[in-house]
Amino acid sequence: MAKKIVVLLSFYLLSIVTIQANEEEKEAVSEIKTQFVEDITPEIDGELDDIFWQNVSEVEERFIAFMPDNGTKSNQKTYIKTAYTDFGLYISARMEDNSGEPIRQELGIRDDDSRNADQFGVLLDTYQNGQNAFYLKVSAAGVQTDIFINRGRSDYNWDAVWKSAAKITKNGWQVEMEIPYSAIRFPKDDKQNWNVNFMRKIQSKNETAYWNYVDNSIDGLVNQSGILLGLDGIKPPLRLSVSPYITTYYNKAGKASSTKITGGMDLKYGITESFTLDMTLIPDFGQTVSDNLIYNLGPFEVQYAENRAFFTEGTELFEKGGLFYSRRVGQSFGFVDLPDSDSLISRPTEAPLLNATKITGRTKGGLGVGFFNAITNRTYAEVYDKENKEVRLQQVDDLTNFNVMVVDQSLKNNSNISLINTNVQRFDGGNNANVIGTDFRLRDKSNTYQIDGFGVYNNIQNPDGFVEDGYKYNMSFAKISGKYQFDFGRNVESDTYNPNDMGFLRNPNEISHFVSAGYNQFQPSTLFNQYRIWIGADYSQLYDPKMYQNFSIWTDFWAQTKDFQTFSFNFNYRPTKTFDYFEPRVEGAKYYRTWNYSLNFRHSSDNRKAFMSNFSVGIWNAPDREQFDYWIDFSPRYRVSDQFSINYGINYNKQFSSIGFAEHFRNDEGAIEQVVFGERDIDILSNILGLNYTINNKMGFNFRLRHYWNKVDYFNYFRLTNEGDVESIAYTGKDFKGDPYEKQDTNFNVFNIDAVYSWQIAPGSFVNVVWKDAVQEVNNMVDMNFSENFKNVLSTEHRQNLSIRLIYFLDYTQLKRDIALNRS
């Protein structure tokens, strides 16, 4: 252990020396001075003709292109005014466009900034730390997008309440924005400056440009901002808002139906100018979009996306090293252990969430603090007692408390260090778990070199007092800016490391190393706007015992052509035998795979066109075992008008002679006597149809249909040997004891429809109407073709749900302002 610490400290000191040796002075940045306007505010209508704007000075600029031709001046002028009051910050922008091309203005839902529309945006780094920023954008169609940027990660789930309006003019278009101080966070200083940048996107040219030059060869956007001067005497307001909601449901499953009405409330309270309390009381996630469920043949858990709004907004502080997987909150952890005399009628799929609270924020000194706590209720399974001929309830999940604490200190040069602790307490005799970890990221002044590291320790205590603990650490050193970049590092996970009571880890027990290097061309060349080519290698072994697992080398090429098409090619080669210690699903066993390779090609057309598509095709091949996979993905989109578009995606994966785990044959005492593998053909087909109709920038309809079909057809069975090879065994319908053993053929289907109508009736207030239709079916009928299978799915009992929700946003500062205006 002492040797490891010495090595790590030496690595750290060497990196610091390298970072200091490469520090350079920052380039001069742009500045803009704002003005205070007293007693009046503009009407946010996009006209820009209010008295408010008459005496505010205007800045004329040609923004500097970020893409495609980074560093060149835009051909079009932009005129910006900034002003502020005691209530908020105001921005107006006039975008000239003399190209002769129409201003693109496709409508879309809020936060969808991928539409075919010109855009204007403002980025506000109110604490001037170069790492976190509020990014507010408005399209020429008036559609708002708000993003919170945290160290390069863009959180589109952050939703602020602010006003904006856009208007097309004979010379181009213009936009007006009102950003209340209650929508953002900033220091409590009498005189302050903020880092700022303005963005303009000219869709007809596919040009994105910034007011302050953003060098695309330097990592990061926030750290390349200009400065907003002259904010004097502003005070962070009392940030208090509530969003009560009421929802009505109609549920139908077969011939049975039910109705219910639920209500709840979300609350936000600014504890200080830097920290915000968020609470959800009597939460209801019934309108959350359906999961993209799949059939899992592998030995590891599938990680699904988090779609519940409370768990996606403002959680960036908690997302460190996989220690916080928010879907654990509400997941049913328990299992039902029944005697032979009982049978299971039903068991819970989730644990009801009673309440959830989070506190997040960052001081002007760069100290970020995050606190999360949630409580889930007990759950029960319905069990039929055959002896007494009665139904009883058997507890499955404990009353459980989930808690996360994070402290994160921003350092100079876009660096940071943090500490995180997660804790799960079960109050009815279940396991308790605690995880504590730390991570750091250090960069040089020029943002060129980076060293980062992460270390974590966990322990799990069962009701008998037995403690199982484990640890993980990783470190890497990289050149992250410039044409030539590289990255190398090491990751260690002990065999007993397990953060999964609140985090997510597919498998522990690994020591891995990686190295990669690449060349990036950021400026247009003869053939391409941009391109990059990378090569790398990965090596892994078990942590305990120290046994080889895998070695691979790979290369990746990506490019964007002059007509804004993109394509990429990836090749991965494993030249030697690899060992899989997890597929047998029993300790001490292994399965070896022969040398193999995979390659993949992707292409995307110009998304400004009415018709665009994404296409990819790939193969995986293990010649010595005659195993071969291929996959095809095709996703076209057709824009019928600026209001209506159709999206479709089809993905097909065919795996020939795939060999994997099938079953454990056990003796009378329950011990595993044989690990049985199966050879099977696997067909996976996914179809997704999307219809998007946007009536205006406050109202729209979205329809999404998904059908997922996975067919697994077994035709050979094998016994796994101690050396990791497989020996063929005849399928007789019985195991080695003579007990019946069925083939593992599987025909798995998931069918979902999510239809959503959303109407923003006021800032932050919505009426949402959602209709859902769901089917999940498993059988062994692998001989059906697509048409027969789909008819079978449609004839299976559906679960349908219609819900209507009204959510109304009430903000203390806005109400106080409205009352004052009415009195005057």
pLDDT, one tens digit per residue, over 692-723 is: 999 999 999 999 999 999 999 999 999 999 99
What does the CA dihedral 608, 609, 611, 616 come to, rounded to 10 degrees? Answer: -60
Contacts of 824 (CB under 8 A, 6+ apart): none
pLDDT surpassing 60 at residue 761: yes
Give the C-alpha separation, 136 to 456, whole Å.
36
pLDDT surpassing 90 at residue 743: no
Residue 136 φ/ψ, nearest 5 degrees = -115, 130
CB 423 within 8 A of CB 399: no
In this prediction, residue 692 carries a pLDDT of: 96
pLDDT, one tens digit per residue, over 499-521 is: 999 999 999 999 999 999 999 99
In this prediction, residue 77 carries a pLDDT of: 96
pLDDT surpassing 90 at residue 654: yes
Q: Where are the alpha helices (DSSP H) in 152-219?
A: none
Q: Which amino acid is at 323?
A: L
CB 507 within 8 A of CB 499: no
In this prediction, residue 72 carries a pLDDT of: 95
Give the C-alpha separation, 248 to 263, whole Å.
9
Give the C-alpha separation, 749 to 714, whole Å.
18
pLDDT, one tens digit per residue, over 439-470 is: 999 999 999 999 999 999 999 998 888 889 99
In this prediction, residue 2 carries a pLDDT of: 35
User: What is the chain's length?
Assistant: 824
Assign 540 a pLDDT band (cuts: 50, 70, 90): very high
Going from the C-alpha of 212 to that of each of 30, 116, 162, 197, 400, the distances in angstroms are 6, 24, 24, 6, 50
Give the C-alpha separation, 483 to 518, whole Å.
8
pTM for this model (two decimals): 0.90
CB 755 within 8 A of CB 774: no
Assign 739 a pLDDT band (cuts: 50, 70, 90): low
Assign 170 a pLDDT band (cuts: 50, 70, 90): very high
In this prediction, residue 769 carries a pLDDT of: 98
Give the C-alpha separation, 657 to 650, whole Å.
23
Contacts of 322 (CB under 8 A, 6+ apart): 499, 503, 504, 505
Give the C-alpha separation, 216 to 221, whole Å.
9
Assign 735 a pLDDT band (cuts: 50, 70, 90): low
Centre a 10 Å sphere on the Cβ of residue 324 and count the other Cβ atoms it contains.
25
In this prediction, residue 824 carries a pLDDT of: 63
Assign 25 a pLDDT band (cuts: 50, 70, 90): very low
What is the pLDDT averaged over residues 725-750?
79
What is the pLDDT averaged over residues 272-289?
92
CB 196 within 8 A of CB 228: yes
What is the pLDDT averaged over residues 45-72?
94
In this prediction, residue 324 carries a pLDDT of: 96
Q: Which residues pair with 123 in a beta bridge?
A: 135, 197
Residue 110 φ/ψ, nearest 5 degrees = -55, 140
The SS3 assignment for 13 reads helix
In this prediction, residue 26 carries a pLDDT of: 39
pLDDT, one tens digit per residue, over 117-138 is: 999 999 999 999 999 999 999 9
How is residue 182 annotated by DSSP? G
What is the pLDDT averaged over residues 307-320?
89
pLDDT surpassing 80 at residue 20: no
Give the C-alpha separation, 379 to 384, whole Å.
17
* Range of lowest pLDDT (288-297, 671-680, 684-693): 671-680
Of the candidates 74, 66, 73, 121, the residue with the CA atom closest to the CA atom of residue 93: 121
In this prediction, residue 734 carries a pLDDT of: 62
| Percent of the chain scoring above 70 in pLDDT | 95
* Range of lowest pLDDT (130-144, 484-498, 712-726, 735-749): 735-749
What is the pLDDT averaged over residues 407-416?
93
In this prediction, residue 731 carries a pLDDT of: 73
Of the candidates 355, 353, 362, 272, the residue with the CA atom closest to the CA atom of residue 317: 362
Assign 741 a pLDDT band (cuts: 50, 70, 90): low
Give the C-alpha separation, 362 to 768, whole Å.
33
Give the C-alpha separation, 470 to 521, whole Å.
43
pLDDT, one tens digit per residue, over 474-490 is: 999 999 999 999 999 99
